[in-house]
Chains A and B, each alone.
Chain A
Amino acid sequence: MSDGVCITGFFPDEEACLRGIAAVRRAGHQRPRVCSPFPSEHIPEALGLARSPVRLWVLLGGIAGCLSGFWLTIGLSLAYPHRTGGMPIVSIPPFVIIAFELTILFGALSGLVGFFVHGGFPRLAPLPGYDPRFSGDRFGVLVDCRGADRAQIEAALRQAGATEVTCELA
């Protein structure tokens, strides 16, 4: 049986949380997990995270939407060539409007899908170490480690200003 544990340090604000992350990383755990009640610019920096790939989803979705818009309007106008208002069958200016709307639509929807895929939604299994206070007024630094490292991590978290430290089996 594995001796893995999840140690959670509770911090009252963002600054203290950043100290906690630094302390855990100094103790040799480069990638603690962090839970916070709101997004922070500094936490991803402290964890050394790269920019989210969701932007690529939005870009590709937008390009696909734009191409679909032109494909739809040009293709269907050629398939049903009905001249109106003296305009050519393939009238680009009005088709740009449809292509624009579909660019936005596909971009937004693929952004949502990207967010779901990378964020792991829907997440049905409980998250080890999660505490309901993390959606309220507490920041959590969660470290998955071996039981042997527990004392060292707990000490690092307390030194960094954790108001409470808990431990549960991972």
Chain B
Amino acid sequence: MAVPKIGYGDVDRLVLRALTPPGRKYWAFVALLALTVGAGASTWMFQVWTGLGVTGLRQPVMWATYITNFVFWVGIAHSGTLISAILFLFRSRWRTPVYRAAETMTVFAVMTAGLFPLIHLGRVWFFYWLLPYPNERWLQPNFRSPLVWDAFAVSTYLIVSVTFLFMGLIPDVAAARDAATGWRRRFYELLALGWRGTDEQWRHFSMAYLLMAGLATPLVISVHSVVSWDFAMAQLPGWHSTIFAPYFVAGAIFSGCALVLTLLIPMRRLLGLEDALAPWHFDNLAKVILLMSLVVTYSYLSESFMAWYSANPFERTTYQMRYWGPYAPLFWTMVTCNCIIPLALFAPRVRRNLKALFVISLFINVGMWLERFVIIAGSLSTNFMPSQWGVYRPTWVEITITVASFAWFLMWFTLFAKFLPIVSMTELKEGIPWLRQAREDAGARAA
């Protein structure tokens, strides 16, 4: 492996050049995304005004596209915390240039996910009924319900992710402030809160950051476990399973790492970050994806095995319908995308080919969205009573809102990447002595 020669000053030049004023193409792209978001918002207003009858939700499938989107976006968020917090605790060096983008993705993905339980509500103005609040009748939420756990888990996750991202940004924003002029300087000054990089500030920063990473690690595992219990706590065949928590967490990391690739590969080129994001970073990310693909495949097999081994006719029927029923094309597409295509990542050549990685990541994104859809809508469509069975199909309302959710996520990410440091300069600089050592070791080995 060729170890790059890089100095502290090079890091600033490398990262800050991504913050140069954007051109017309950039703003045209942002405008397109904003328009799509506007279309989604108008469609939601139409749904609120008219009622949930404008969606495809009918008995027995009352959870479908919106809840799929919710689980998908919460899952996407997880890889960010994995890369930023868990790999930080393991001192993985390869995460350094990747983690800020992943962490940013976490925040915007949770922001997107949080919209869907609200969109799914028929009377959205009563959303606060999920939370405890003082009222004259002393009515309180049912704390034994997974939906209430979810409200606590997802709001905690959003707040902690924002806090973690903001804290990590402070020293980098200060570096951007010291190099900027005009309104940008004032903007960075405001965000940097007067950071000067003194020994006292670093001492408290390092401790707070370490402990926050320590807190975020169990949090990330708990959040997707809680999301999985939204399903596993119900008696429905296809949902009521003890493996759901680890199965969902693995799926979340899998889909999230794939979206990191989908975003980083074009961003690397568009923002001129080729020197910071080297192929070996993507190689390591691809290895995580491959591992998670194998875990997810194992989970699919376990689920099917348990349905067969339980000898429970309802479980068996649900899985037979999953393989051969009306959602079978989606199921087999999911298997192809999540279990078969990622096997190509066993080849180091593929892991270092960014075009191939980009295409594989797109397949995984599609596959993981379908996985949630198959679990949610597929299981509901074949419940205990064959007389109640029914097939769900989304209407234009759900499709528009789903497309708009991707635009909403991308819009925030695009704005962030151009106005705030998307690669952590602090940690890149911290890694320079390690790079020097690696270069010396490589030189010694060659000699």
Contacts and interface: CB of A to CB of B under 8 A. Distances in A.
Partners in one complex: yes
B193 A101 contact: no
A39 interface: yes
A138 B178 CA distance: 13
A94 B167 contact: no
Contacts of A23: none
Interface in B139-167: 139-145, 148-149, 152-153, 156, 159-160, 163-164, 167
B197 A49 contact: no
A127 B200 contact: no
Contacts of A123: 193-196
B317 interface: no
A9 interface: no
Interface in A86-136: 87, 91, 94-95, 97-98, 100-102, 104-105, 107-109, 111-112, 114-116, 118-125, 127, 130, 132-136
A51 B219 CA distance: 25
A33 interface: yes
B132 A33 contact: no
Contacts of B156: 101-102, 104-105
Given A43-B199, A134-B196, A76 B132 contact: yes
A147 interface: no
Given A76-B140, A85-B144, A44 B203 contact: yes
B53 interface: no
A38 B426 contact: yes
SS class, residues of chain A in contact with chain B: helix
A77 B219 contact: no
Given A34-B198, A98-B149, A39 B426 contact: yes
Contacts of A51: 207
Interface residues of B, number: 59
Contacts of A54: 204, 207-208, 211
SS class, residues of chain B in contact with chain A: helix
Nearest to A91: B144
A85 B143 CA distance: 12
B215 A108 contact: yes
A94 B144 contact: yes
Contact of A111 (B140, B179, B212): B212
Contact of A35 (B145, B148, B177, B197): B197
B149 A108 contact: no
Report the interface size class on chain A: 35 or more
A36 interface: yes
B144 A84 contact: yes
A168 to B, nearest CB: 15
Interface stretch (B24-32, B285-293, B427-435): B427-435
A135 to B, nearest CB: 4
A58 B216 CA distance: 13
A34 to B, nearest CB: 4
B236 to A, nearest CB: 15
B142 A115 contact: no
B12 interface: yes
Given A35-B197, A79-B138, A85-B144, A135 B171 contact: yes
22 contacts: A33-B198, A33-B200, A34-B198, A35-B198, A38-B426, A39-B206, A44-B199, A52-B208, A55-B207, A76-B140, A97-B222, A102-B152, A102-B156, A104-B215, A104-B219, A105-B156, A115-B204, A132-B178, A133-B178, A135-B175, A136-B8, A136-B12
Given A52-B203, A108-B215, A136-B175, 4 more contacts: A35-B196, A38-B426, A44-B203, A115-B167
Interface of A: 13-14, 33-40, 43-44, 47, 49, 51-52, 54-55, 58, 62, 72-73, 76-77, 79-80, 82, 84-85, 87, 91, 94-95, 97-98, 100-102, 104-105, 107-109, 111-112, 114-116, 118-125, 127, 130, 132-138
